[in-house]
Structure 1
Amino acid sequence: MRTNPTGRQLRFGTELRKLRERAGLSVTEAGQLLGIRQTQVSNMEAGRGGVGTERLRTIACHYDCSDKALVEALTTMTSDRKRGWWEEYHELLSTPLLDLAELEHHARSLRDATTARIPGLLQTREYALEIFRQAVTELSPPDIEHRLSFRIKRQAILFREDDPTPYEAVIHEAALRMRVGGSTVSRHQLQHLLDMSDRAHITLRAITFEAGAYPGSGQSIHYAFAHVPQLDTVYLDQSHGLAFLDAEAQLHKYRMLFDRIEAVALAPEKTRDLIHNVMREL
């Protein structure tokens, strides 16, 4: 199990710091106001150590935070301390990947936009295997197997019986037509997209070649919605690894970007027609 704070714990601490700074308090002043040591305030803001729900409400009161929805969302973050399945991989995979699984698990909904690949949450095992085999840094067979099993487990959020995570994906035609692993693997992948798009909580849209250049083209962009907009997170899948963004200006920028991307994408039914056409050409 990890000894360092998880991404969720770090984000919780960051939000506590933002609340304190909005109240115009220094760490020393906050400690005096709350009746705790300065080091305790610093540790809470660094994501180290637990913060009980009652203490959180006390903090919000002393910081004059009147945003009840935000306080309730933070309460949920601090009250849910269960060890996630992803911690089984803490010695096998990088910390950002563990934080990604944790983020997706707790997200209220998810949005993806990809150009050259099918989104990871929608990849078949065979498709994902080929992607890992062609990684920029060559992976050993055990590393490939760890990454593959981890990716498949991440997809469980889309299959939960009670509350599957609502998911929207915009996929460029280039990703649909790229024959990853050959015709058979590609055909099975496309059929999987059609099957997943039948689910009420999943929406697929495609951007065709005819659409030309569009906002955000060339990037793989992912947006995780929290229970309040302030706690949303953007994560970018880059060649050097995952980058997580959560500044208010960044969140606003990428919310607008996704809206612009979806404006040039096909409707879900026309997307299904395109996928059928690509399958016929294989």
Structure 2
Amino acid sequence: MPPSTPPLTVRRRRLGTELRRLRERADLSATEAAARIGITQSRVSNIEAGRYGVSADRVRAFARSYDCSDQVLIDALAAMTGERKRGWWEEYRGILPPALLDLAEIEHHATSLRGAYVAHLPGLLQTPEHARAIFRQAVPAFSPPEVEHRVSHRIKRQVVLHQERPTPYTAIIHEAALRMGFGGASTTLGQLRHILEMSEHEHVTVLVIPFAAGDFPGSGQSVLYAHGAVKQLDAVHLDTEVGSTLLDSEAKLERYRVVLDRMEDVALREKLSRDLIHRIVQSLEGE
């Protein structure tokens, strides 16, 4: 049976990565693992690369062969198998960069989300007008259809905050991002009012780092931390001018947990954060 040709989803790739990590912790080669399970070495390699799907039973067989006793992790890995339904983001495959589809898929499966934003407002809280103003500033420039595809994708990502069981989300936003003024005064006012409205939802926490806070870590990039069913399945998405990066190594996940914790420590609490946003809104209304 040849490797599957359908798109290699980030979830399937991550499952393969975690199975490889379990094998390496057991100090087994792919050939040795294949012999224990009764499959070919090439099949083990294709599963670990995400090119082959794998059943929950097979995942449990791998775990037994690797002497993994972490039942919570095993159950979480088994739960990542067998998904047949295409996510809404697949309609953008071939239209937008794969990294944007990966981001939507990670957000869809996360148990909670936490992000930090210094120069830009979080995509999950942006209005269409604000998003459109940002994409129109891209270098090299996007064509009008490309702008609209990116805007619609960004807005559709926000379903995780509006579904029947919304994903808990914490957004740490620097005051600088609130005052950027993308799209002009009218767009900015609408955007800030939208953030205030969203911050009133129980599952959305908005924390603002004021200029007065001074220095803090993590000031150079936007970070989204997606919590998995277990800590080992967490992921970090970094958004930069040259593209997106996904991180899942234990050391890097721990680093960004610490960075976000420290950013939360210097941020204003929820009520004071809303008060600061209200003051910015009032200053714009008075212009």
Q: Please give the alpha-carbon distance, in whole angstroms, between the structure 2 residues aligned to 1:203 and 1:136.
A: 32
Other-structure match for 1:83: 86
Q: Which residue type is aligned with residue 111 of structure 2?
A: R
* Match for residue 109 of structure 2 among 106, 121, 132: 106
Provide TM-score, normalisation by structure 2.
Answer: 0.96
Question: By how many angstroms is 1:278 displaced?
Answer: 0.2
Other-structure match for 2:214: 212
Question: By how many angstroms is 1:193 displaced?
Answer: 0.5
Partner deviation per Cα, 1:122-168 (whole Å, 9 max, x = no partner): 0001000100111122000010111011011000110002x100000
- 1:4/1:80 Cα in 2 relative to 1: closer, same or farther (>3 Å)? closer
User: What is the 5 A alignment of 1:37-52?
Assistant: 37-52=40-55
Other-structure match for 1:14: 17
Other-structure match for 2:30: 27
User: What is the 5 A alignment of 1:1-282?
Assistant: 3-161=6-164, 163-282=165-284
Question: By how many angstroms is 1:216 displaced?
Answer: 0.9
Q: Please give the alpha-carbon distance, in whole angstroms, between the structure 1 residues aligned to 2:182 and 2:241.
A: 18
Question: By how many angstroms is 1:36 displaced?
Answer: 0.6
Question: By how many angstroms is 1:175 displaced?
Answer: 0.8
Question: By how many angstroms is 1:57 displaced?
Answer: 0.9
Q: Which residue type is aligned with residue 239 of structure 2?
A: D
Q: Which residue type is aligned with residue 177 of structure 2?
A: A
Partner deviation per Cα, 1:56-93 (whole Å, 9 max, x = no partner): 11111111110111111111111323211101000100
Question: By how many angstroms is 1:212 displaced?
Answer: 1.2
Partner deviation per Cα, 1:183-223 (whole Å, 9 max, x = no partner): 11111111101100010000000001111111111221110
Q: Which residue type is aligned with residue 16 of structure 1?
A: L
Q: Please give the alpha-carbon distance, in whole angstroms, between the structure 1 residues aligned to 2:155 and 2:162.
A: 11
What secondary structure does 2:80 align onto? helix
Q: Which residue type is aligned with residue 270 of structure 2?
A: P
Q: CA RMSD in A?
A: 1.2
What secondary structure does 2:81 align onto? helix
Q: Please give the alpha-carbon distance, in whole angstroms, between the structure 2 residues aligned to 1:265 and 1:49.
A: 44
Q: Please give the alpha-carbon distance, in whole angstroms, between the structure 2 residues aligned to 1:49 and 1:81.
A: 13
Q: Please give the alpha-carbon distance, in whole angstroms, between the structure 2 residues aligned to 1:124 and 1:39.
A: 47
Question: By how many angstroms is 1:281 displaced?
Answer: 0.6
* Structure 2 unmatched runs, 5+: none
What secondary structure does 1:250 align onto? helix
Q: Please give the alpha-carbon distance, in whole angstroms, between the structure 2 residues aligned to 1:256 and 1:247.
A: 14
Provide TM-score, normalisation by structure 1.
Answer: 0.97
Question: By how many angstroms is 1:116 displaced?
Answer: 1.0
What secondary structure does 1:79 align onto? coil
Misfit runs of 4+, over 3 Å: none
